[in-house]
Structure 1
Amino acid sequence: MSGYVDRRRVSNYEPTSLRSLAQLVTPAPLFSLGTILLLLTLLTGLGLSFIPWQQSVVGKGKVMVLSPMQRPQNIEAQIPGRLVRWNIREGQQVQKGAVVAELADLDAKFLDSNQLARLEQQKRVLVAKRAAAQSRIGSIAAQVTALEGSRGLAIPAAQQKAAQSVDRERASRQSLEAAETNLTTAGLNVKRLRELHSKGLRSTRDLEVAENDFVKARTERDRAGAALDAARREVSVGRFDQDKVVFDTAASLASSRASLASARETLATIEGDILKLDVDIENLRSRTEQRIVRAPSDGVVVRLLKVGSGETVKAGDVLAVVAPATTDRAVEIYLSDNDAPLVAEGRPVRLQFAGWPAVQFVGWPSVAVGTFAGRVAVIDAVDDGTSRYRVIVVPDEQAQRTEQPWPGPQYLRPGTEATGWIMLDTVSLGFELWRQFNAFPPTLQAEPVKLKAKKE
């Protein structure tokens, strides 16, 4: 028991007698401090193990309009001209189609103030010529139809005439054969009467009558021969007339068809001229309309880039800039090539806008004040040339049901600077400190690897 020292007894000793022993006693304040430090150490360990920490990557950018048709638009001069007057001022609200400015055309082809009336007069003349050409085509078409009908009748008529000449030739041949038979008979009769007359059996008169009949029969034979020759010539003439009718009607029909084709060609030329004139008239009307510069959409005139009446502008020159009235807003922020692979579409984002008071707690976004909810909508597939990737953030409609929405368009304008914290995974505070001390990237929950089924 020699190693045990009673505190009460030691306290009754004089300091001068046991001074070294008194120095071994732990002071009460130090004992309390040690206890507190031990508890703090335990609490810190527990806190580092169980306090959650929201990992995130941060990027900076600006507010933009998501819809391409609602972004700030340049009002350009569509024709070269001279500025006559402005009908708006900077900051003025304009409606779609409102007259913004007026230009005077400088092209020498469009300086005539009565050019449109003259072109329309030329068109009326061409329309009258087209009506006349159409009437002529109708007349020629009717003529062609009549010729086709006439040809259909003339050719059969010629064929009938040729057939009649053939019949007359046949009749003439038969008449010639009959005349030759009569002549033979008359010759035999004369011969017989001569023999009888020489014997005194017949009178001289009978002989004379027989000779007269012989002469008549010969004459009839000659007449029948001449008639046969004439009939043969009529057959040839009938065939020639038939061919002539065929060729004459074909020539007349071909001529009429050629005239019809020429009339249709004239009509096509006139219609082509009318179409060209229509194009010229529409071009002139469009050119006249382009002298009036109109607002492309509803919005506010941001700035006027051409000032003063009489200033000359070229086609494509920007005259003014209009910012359309829209609530379709988004934020484009840029991430480095180290952080971009960690981000995926649909990730929640906390946004802080310039000029809007905010207190952001990176690891605990739920206690942040003045930030707004967003969600990743688009991640560019290529960088911007400086190893930065653009991320487009849109309002998180689901989160805005319980949080305040983005500021209105009168406060949050396109071009406003913004800072975005893209939320990643939730880890413990101790792991996050260890990660940052070792300069490791944030963690991501890896998707399970899907093993391919083995083919049996």
Structure 2
Amino acid sequence: MLNLSQINKTDQKLLGRYSTIKNLANRPHYKILNRIIVTFSIFAVLFLFVPWTQNISGSGAVTTLKPNQRPQTIQSLISGRIEKWYVQEGDFVKKGDTILFISEIKEDYLDPNLVQNTKDQMDAKKMSVESYLGKVTTLSSQIQFIENEKKLKLEQARNKIRQSILKVTSDSIDLVAVKTQVKIANTQFNRAVQLNKEGLKPLTDVEEKRLKLQDVDAKIITQENKLLTSKNELINSKVEINRITAEYNEKVAKARSDQFTALSNQFDTKAQVNKLENQYVNYSIRNGMYYIKAPQNGYVNRALQSGIGENIKEGTSIVSIMPSNYDIAVETFITPIDLPLVKRGEKVRVWFDGWPTIVFSGWPDISYGTFGGKIVAVENFISDNGKFRVLIAPDEDEDKWPKQLSIGAGAQTIALLNDVPIWFELWRTLNGFPPNYYNPTTKISKEKK
């Protein structure tokens, strides 16, 4: 009611005659409530200026620091049939202990003497290589002998040429001498005829000179024939050199052809030996793959294959093993907006599922049951859950993490950033702003120095 009308308006003086109205004005709890409200308002205003530590929260699970310390599965490198198990789930195995035995199922490897037969083939091929090597050496010696014989034959033919040249020279000189004798005999005959006409020489002398001239004429024909024979022998000697060169070149070419054939066969056989050696080593290694062994010390968590006589393919997971010795760590996931604020080496508070914890995210000094950690790796590629993965290791400067932690247990993390007033944090949260960009310049500079 706006009390604009004067009708039915109650007079305040008339209400004062009632005791109840008088008591209402004198009650003290209204003053106390007002004081409480004022005090609370002052406390709320002061509380807004209390320091608050900005932080980045994340959730993850307990894991190991090194990849080789995480749970792993053991695969079979070859196909086979399960024949015998040597362990059961929960057993502790050492590195090299046999887990199970499988038998061969491929027809190419069913021969029990496959390795020995391959070795025999390899040894036979090696002997063949040695035989070809001996043949190559023999042909090399044969070529050397042919070359030596060729040199001797050529030297012999050259000597014969020199002899033929000397004989031609000698016959040429003899021919000149015979021609000189013909001239002398002809002169003597003419002189004897002239003297006979003059009566100074008897006819017998003329006949004697004519007989001598005819004898010398016969000698010159014989000597010319002898000279031509010597020249033919010289030509034959030169032709013999060409024949010897061609003959022995042909012998050398044939020997070299046989040598190259032997070398080709040797290299081909050597390639076959290398192939057989490769097969021999592969078969030997394959025989050792029938026994599936533990790669490191650990506990058999679960048998992924079971039964006897079951066939498995290569690459099939058989059992899972948890290593016995590992360095514990925590993998947590943060939102993409917080990724630039996270750096390697920063301090992080961690608490684990199942451990009594009281956490005040803005006041880490008041929190209870948290453990110190240090960021060792930040993944730069987003995960399937739309967040970035961060790996945290225990902080050596603080208390050790509980030994009872198991791999895969849940964990919560808080990365501490700048100290700001609470009013600023409320304002930032209401507006959806990210925390202040935090860069540990002092620490990084020390590490660089």
Counterpart in the other structure of 2:163: 164
- SS at structure 2 position matched to 1:431: helix
CA offsets 1:277-318 (integer angstroms, 9 cap, x no match): 101101111221222212122221111111111111011111
CA distance in 2, matches of 1:339, 1:270: 66
Q: Counterpart of 2:166 in structure 1: which amino acid? A: D
Q: Distance in 2 between matches of 1:98 and 1:24?
A: 91
Find the aligned partners of 2:336 and 2:26 in 1 and give their Cα distance: 58
Distance in 2, matches of 1:208 and 1:99, equals: 131
Q: Kindly state the Cα deviation for residue 326 of structure 1 after the two structures are TM-superposed.
A: 3.5
Bigger drift between 302-311 and 349-358 goes to 349-358
Q: Which residue pairs with 2:415 in the alignment?
A: 422
- 1:365 is paired with a residue whose SS is coil
Call closer, same or farther: CA 1:209–1:265 in 2, change over 3 Å: same
Q: In structure 1, what is the Cα distance between the partners aligned to 2:126 and 2:342? A: 69
- Distance in 1 (CA, whole Å) between partners of 2:301 and 2:375 is 30
Where structure 1 has 5 or more consecutive residues not aligned to the other structure, the ranges are 1-15, 448-456
- The answer to whether structure 1 residue 201 and structure 2 residue 193 are counterparts is no
Give CA deviations for 1:87-117 in whole Å, capped at 9, x if unaligned.
1111112222222211111111111111111
Return the alpha-carbon distance in structure 2 between the equivalents of residues 341 and 248 of structure 1.
Answer: 89
Query: Aligned in 2, Cα 1:241/1:435: closer, same or farther, shift over 3 Å?
Result: closer
User: How far apart are 1:151 and its partner, in Å?
Assistant: 2.4
Aligned to 2:433: 441
Residue 406 of structure 1 pairs with residue 401 of structure 2? yes
TM-score (normalised: structure 2): 0.86
Q: How many equivalent pairs are there? A: 424
AA at the equivalent of 2:106: D
Counterpart of 1:306 in structure 2 is 305
Read off the aligned partner of 1:246 and give its amino acid letter. Answer: T
User: Paired residue for 1:355?
Assistant: 354
Deviation at 1:184, TM superposition (A): 2.1
Gaps of 5+ in 2: 1-15, 440-449
- Contact 2:74–2:319 at 8 Å: present in 1 too? yes
1:116 counterpart = 2:115: yes
C-alpha distance in 1 between matches for 2:364 and 2:68: 34
What is the percent sequence identity of the aligned residues? Answer: 26
Match of 2:445 in 1: none
Question: Structure 1 residues 158 and 82, CA, compared in 2 at 3 Å: closer, same or farther?
Answer: same
Q: Which amino acid aligns with 2:60?
A: G
CA displacement, residues 331-386 of structure 1 (integer Å, 9 cap, x when unaligned): 22222344445444443221111222222222221222221111233333333345
Counterpart residue type for residue 230 of structure 1 = T
Do 1:67 and 1:328's aligned partners in 2 also have CA atoms closer than 8 Å?
A: yes
Say whether 1:48 aligns with 2:45.
no
Distance 2:240 2:381 in 1: 91
Tell me: CA distance 1:440–1:135, structure 2 relative to 1, closer, same or farther (3 Å): closer
**What is aligned with 2:425?**
432
- The separation in 2 between residues aligned to 1:115 and 1:32, in whole angstroms, is 102
Q: CA RMSD of the aligned region, Å?
A: 2.8
Residues 224-263 of structure 1 mapped to structure 2, 5 A cutoff: 224-263=223-262
Structure 2 letter corresponding to 1:389: F
Equivalent-residue separation in structure 1 for 2:69 and 2:24 (angstroms): 82
Q: Which TM-score applies when normalising by structure 1?
A: 0.84
* Residues 53 and 361, structure 2, Cα contact 8 Å, conserved in 1: yes
